[in-house]
Structure formats: C-alpha cells, structure tokens
Structure 1
Amino acid sequence: MGIRSRKRNRTPAVDPHTSSPSHRRRRRLDSGRKDVFQDLPRSADDRDWAALPRDVLLVILSLLPQTEVLRGAGLACAPWRLVALDEPLLWRHIDLAGGNKKHVEGWQAMAFTAVRLSAGRCESYRGRVDRDVLIFLAHSAPSLRSLHVTCRFDMTCSEKFIAVVAKKIPMLEKLVLSNGLITLASLVVLADHCPRLQSIDAGGCRTTRALRSTEQSLRASLKSRIKDLRLPHPQFIGYRIVLHQLE
C-alpha cells in the first residue's frame, strides 16, 4: 500500500496591522459612514434649479431686488426667463430704487421694461422718473395707487401736462416726491384729478413764492382735501431763506 500524505490546512498569515481591534473598529465605521452619505441629498451645485415649480420660482425671484432680476437673474435659464417675463404678479409692486450707483446707468430702460411687464397691473412704483417715464407710467398703470419718486423731479411744467397725467391715474392714493422744484398749483391740479389722493409728501422739495393771497388759497385747498400733507419748503432767494409760512 502506498502511503497517503495528509493535507494540512494551513492557517493564512495574519497581518498584525489589519487584525488589530482598532483596525476592525475603523473598518466598521467606514462601512457605516458610506451608507449614511449615500442617503444625504445632493449638493446645491448638482441640483437642477430650472426644474423647480413655477410658484417656487416666483417666490425666489420676488425675494431678489428687481434691478437684479432685470439685469440678468431672470435670464438664468428658460424657466426663470418665462417667470420673469410672463408673470405680471412679479411686477405689481415695482421698486427700482437700488442703493448701488451702478443701477443709475440704464435706469430708464429698466423702468420702461418693469412697467411693461406689469401688463397694466402695477399698483405701486418706487424709483427714478423723468417726463417720458411719467407719461408711460400713467398710460400703462391705470391701477397705480402709490408713486414714490426717488430722484430730483421738477413739477414746474404746465398745469395742462399735470392734468393729463393725473387723469390717467385716478386711483392714486399716495405721492412721495424726494427732491425738486414744485409749484403749489401743480399739487392742487393733481389733487383735483385724483379724488382718492390722501397723502402727499413733498417735504424734501422746494417751492417758488407766489402772491400772498394765491399762496393762502392753494395751501387751504390742499389742507382741506389731503389728510397727510407735507408741503415743499420755500426756495432759497439770494443769501437768505424765505421763512414766510402761512398757516
């Protein structure tokens, strides 16, 4: 009989660096950590912002300064562009009074665009105006209730022009004029054609002197109809200030 050799099951060599309790503990932690990270949401860079619902996009754009929306935020992608250009609700309250000086450049184009995008539903406007923007606003925003002019604007033009503008915005309730030269007669004409006008703030403006009797009559007319009234201050004459104020 031949002699059979016995096969011995050799024990694999043990690496002392991988068989230690601390290594096994780290390996279990690593495996658990991978499972946790797989369940975490993707980073903001990996999300598809264009796939957000329209109402969510509307909320996001409404939180941004409207000057930024007009300068590019609303053109980031096709869905954002559609909301910015086709949603009048976003432009119902227009505020283009940006604090950055760079916003002054191209302000007329932004004003025309914002008013046009409101599709006749603009109820308040805050920002710079000139004669052309004011005419366009009056023709395009019949529901305008509040007008806040943040730049210098002189209302020394003809009363006929003021009447034409005022007739287009009969729902106006509040007017704020930050700076400029204003005649009391122009304010009276404005009040004549805006029966809902309850607040005029022209405290930062100046006015020219009129005859004493005329000025008294104009002031009395405004005070009798306007609940919240701040009239412009007398204009500088030479090196002194006209302090004459009539009650």
Structure 2
Amino acid sequence: MSEKLIQKSVIKNRWHYVLHKLFERPSLVLIGGKWKTGKTDFALFIAECLLKLPSWSNPEHKTIVAEVASNIETFGRFPMISDMISLKQWLYGSNKRKLYILDEANIHLPSRRAMSGKSVEFVKLLAEISKAHARIIVIGQDVLSVDKMFLEEIWCRGVFVKESLKKAQLFSTELIRPYTFSNIPPTSIKFNPYAIAPFTEKPSGKVFFKDTDKQVLWDWSHGKSLKELGLHPMALNRLLRKYVRENLENDFHASHK
C-alpha cells in the first residue's frame, strides 16, 4: 500500500489520526483523570497502537514507535525503567523511535515552587527528546498538579482527560477542536493496577549496559579503579576518546538534519 493510501485510510479513523498528530514527531503527552478511570491502562493501550501504526514521516521507521519502556511493571512485556540515569541510557542507546511512559507523575514530578531534582532532570531531558527520537507519556490524577513546565506548549503536544474507563477527551493545539473517544478497549498488556510505579534520580542497584565498553566507562566514572576493572590507563584513554568522538558526531549529525 502506498504512503498516500495509508494516510487516507488513517485519516478516516479518528483515533489513528490523532495518534499520528500527537506522536509522529518527538513529543510529550499528558494523561489525567480521577482515580479508577483507567489512566495507566489507557497509556498502555496507546503504546500498543503506536507499535502497530505505520509511520508517515520517515520510511526508515516502519511504525510510529519501535520500542516502549515505562516505570510500570508489565511482567516482561516492556522494560521497566524507574530511574533517570537508566532512562537516559535507554533513550540514547539506539536511533530507534522510543516511547517512555511515566506513571504517578503527581508523586514524582509535583508542581511546587521549588522544582525537585527529578523535575529539573526531566525538564533537561525534554529539551533533548528530539535527539533521542523519543515520545513521552506522563500520567497523573490531576495534570495541573504536575510540574507546570510539562504543560508548556513547547513540550506538550496534547492532554487526555479520562472521564471513565471507556471514555476520554483530548485537548491539543495540534487539532482544531477537542476530541472525545468512547468505547475505548482495554489494553492486552498485563500489569498490576494497584502497584506503585517508582521513579528515582539514580538507580537503586547496579546499572548494566549491553555495550561492554560503556559498562567499563560507567563503572570507572562511578568510582571503580583501573585495577578493579583490570584496565591499563592507555586502554581507558582509547575508550574515552571513542566515546567522546561518537557522542560529538551524533550531536553534529542531529543538529544538521
């Protein structure tokens, strides 16, 4: 099917249309609503849709997102990432389009006069989501009690308000009017709706990298000696040069797209 035919078929489906408007580009979307209106379930349902919907903007990407992670326990369906350091490592680990879902935002990113450390780091991350090819969904009972920076138009692409388990209203500057969706199906992803979704600035345990070079650099930068790592100073120097060069090249290419 050609790209134009795909777009026409999607536009006929209001739900698919708004998902493309909200998530085709790097974005932040909020989900709010009273207790027991199915906010977490809804976010996971959106994730399922984004993993299936074809991308309009870039033929290199088959679907709107390719990977999903969250601070929600999904029993192995999606990686559970519950700290800022691990989140950054996951986001920048590849050029694949990623979606991260942050639950319990009222607890982790509250609206207060003095921003918490987590809020400061998350705002810094928002400025980098384009480079990370990221989409972020933030869930909270009251979106107005989440740090106000996340409602800024420069970041926020839209706000879903869950009115009940099967009904949600969408407000977005990307659309000419609000949209109401009814008969929303439940997600097929298993999760514990009563479990608290944690999120901290630093990991509580050891951080593991698939890339052995990055693992060595991480352990060294967090206090391990060259002797403990079994590494010669010249070998460390080569790893550092390689890491700095790759990151500078990635930044250069991202800024010249």
TM-score where L is the length of structure 2: 0.24
TM-score where L is the length of structure 1: 0.25
Which structure has more helix as a fraction of its residues? 1
Q: Which has the higher contact order (CA 8 A, sep 6+)?
A: 2
> In terms of Rg, which structure is larger?
1
